[in-house]
Structure 1
């Protein structure tokens, strides 16, 4: 097992996979990359284990040895579980400090399978467009159903839509809603899921690594915003297709399942994002707007006898984590 994530002398692309108790999925993801790394000679993959506390390290090591992947896959055991940004930064930082750092860095979730041609589609696009700093893939669910969505930066209006959950308001606010449905053409977007995000080296040199004060959630949103402010654009490239089983490490965003209570780090990340990027006053208005919308939704749900599909204890948890109760930025 390698102690660092040093790529070889000529490595055009570094792929980083952060594992936390998902050894089987990580190994399956590596299988899906076998053909992809051949399309760009010199590509390296670093698997970072954010101490899983299970047999993940041993199992992934065994798979690397058994499959003969040693020449392009290395495994790094992190000292602590510092979250998504921390795990990715561990590999990216080491590569950036190498004598000949890679041009591109592909952050890839372990709960993904890379469809043929997806790596080349991202590299070709970002290489042809020097002003593009970040590119990302289209997603599909485990059954092959398309999940063609990207996201807009959170704002007060998107918080209103999120809390209110009213179709007519969503239509009126469609230019500001958080979720953006995409078609089959490449397009500039605000931010992309970190499950498949390729980043140009110069972006890290411009804005630094991802903010490790986020344990999980909002770190890729924040990073894309910092890149935008530094003059880099972010693009959706649907020709790169990724199967993604959401929420396998946390259980929070599992699709087609009973919603789970949102963890404390979700609220910490949300509060950090708004306070870091917009200040206390804006964050307070965003909190108040979401609360007003959500209370109206709760009243409408009772009157119209709609099912309760919200995460358990959402209102009380949100109230405990507003900037009115916790005025300081987490982290």
Structure 2
């Protein structure tokens, strides 16, 4: 479906921009002014996960126009947003999940809302995500979490236009086109409130990491679309909560990655996909061990053990979503193995993947 930016954009008065915060006072002081200046009539909230720094006092003192939501504890990303958005009224038809370490730009919000307004099947959208940096060269690079729109391969491995594994491309306008994708980043996610509540929000057991991929996969299984809009960009610091080499993040990514495919994959594809994922996870674990990274090796072992220990829970969550679609029926799925394309064939850019395998 084609989308053209309208000549005039209506107010975003029905949009709630919600920033989840935990001990992030420096980021709030740095980036909240831009959010307030460039959010085109939206209401800005800070949902606080029981911070122990002066985040709440800072917002109330320096940004009195921002509404504060006090969550009941440090609930993590998933349940933190679930609890916060449950408190918003029906006047908000759209929610933005915005990381506290994101610098927005003029016009970042209106066109995305217009896209969802023009396409009733579109439930979620993200802008272009580039690196936040003081250096001009680095700011031209795509950022790891979202880049030019999220994709999956046939085994459920996530990647982006502009980012294959840890290889980042420079933004030269090659991914400016709006298009349906498999997933949109949780760093800056515009989502239709109706769809959010129909699906029950984010998976609470994920705590953090891959939760937006799970949500977007469920949206597609339910018949909605997920979009990327490259006509506007935001800049993401990244790693503001956990550095990518942190064993805790390794644990969450591997555990949630298995749960992601188990919950959402079509029954005809699930046995093969799950078996291959388990095998490739072991290859990754052994590689880390041989490199001397015993902490991440142990994190993967824990991830597998905890996934299997909670298999009855994941089975229940899978049954709650009766409709599953074949990978060939989903937007943004690469009909091949990204692991093989990247490590076996040396493909480092999205444009190097065979176009006939990209849905």
- Report the equivalent of 2:86: 93
Shift of 1:178: 7.0
Contact 2:49 2:80 in 1 (8 A): yes
Contact 2:288 2:296 in 1 (8 A): no
1:198 aligns with 2:200: no
Call closer, same or farther: CA 1:293–1:326 in 2, change over 3 Å: same
Call closer, same or farther: CA 1:157–1:54 in 2, change over 3 Å: closer
Contact 1:283 1:323 in 2 (8 A): no
Contact 2:103 2:132 in 1 (8 A): no
Shift of 1:214: 1.4
- Report the equivalent of 2:338: none
Q: State how far apart, in whole Å, the 2-side matches of 1:267 and 1:190 are.
A: 19
Call closer, same or farther: CA 1:323–1:312 in 2, change over 3 Å: closer
Q: Tell me how large the CA RMSD over aligned residues is.
A: 3.1
Call closer, same or farther: CA 1:312–1:47 in 2, change over 3 Å: farther
- Report the equivalent of 1:84: 77
- Of 185-194 and 267-276, deviating more is 267-276
1:115 aligns with 2:105: yes
Gaps of 5+ in 1: 1-9, 163-173, 254-258, 303-307
Contact 1:25 1:111 in 2 (8 A): yes
What SS does the aligned partner of 2:85 have?
A: helix
Can you list the C-alpha shifts for 1:213-232, whole angstroms capped at 9, x where unaligned?
21111211110011001111
What SS does the aligned partner of 1:203 have?
A: helix
Q: State how far apart, in whole Å, the 2-side matches of 1:116 and 1:35 are.
A: 8
2:26 to 19, 24, 27: 24
Call closer, same or farther: CA 1:116–1:155 in 2, change over 3 Å: same
- Report the equivalent of 1:33: 35
What SS does the aligned partner of 1:234 have?
A: strand
The normalised TM-score by structure 1 is 0.74
- Report the equivalent of 2:136: none
- Report the equivalent of 2:130: 140
Which structure has more RCO (C-alpha within 8 Å, separation ≥ 6)?
Answer: 1
1:186 to 174, 178, 183: 178
Gaps of 5+ in 2: 1-11, 134-138, 315-359
- Report the equivalent of 1:305: none
- Report the equivalent of 1:288: 279
Contact 1:15 1:46 in 2 (8 A): yes
Contact 1:261 1:312 in 2 (8 A): no
Q: State how far apart, in whole Å, the 1-side matches of 2:233 and 2:239 are.
A: 18
The normalised TM-score by structure 2 is 0.69
Q: State how far apart, in whole Å, the 1-side matches of 2:60 and 2:294 are.
A: 39
1:272 to 259, 266, 277: 259
Call closer, same or farther: CA 1:94–1:324 in 2, change over 3 Å: closer
Q: State how far apart, in whole Å, the 2-side matches of 1:196 and 1:241 are.
A: 10
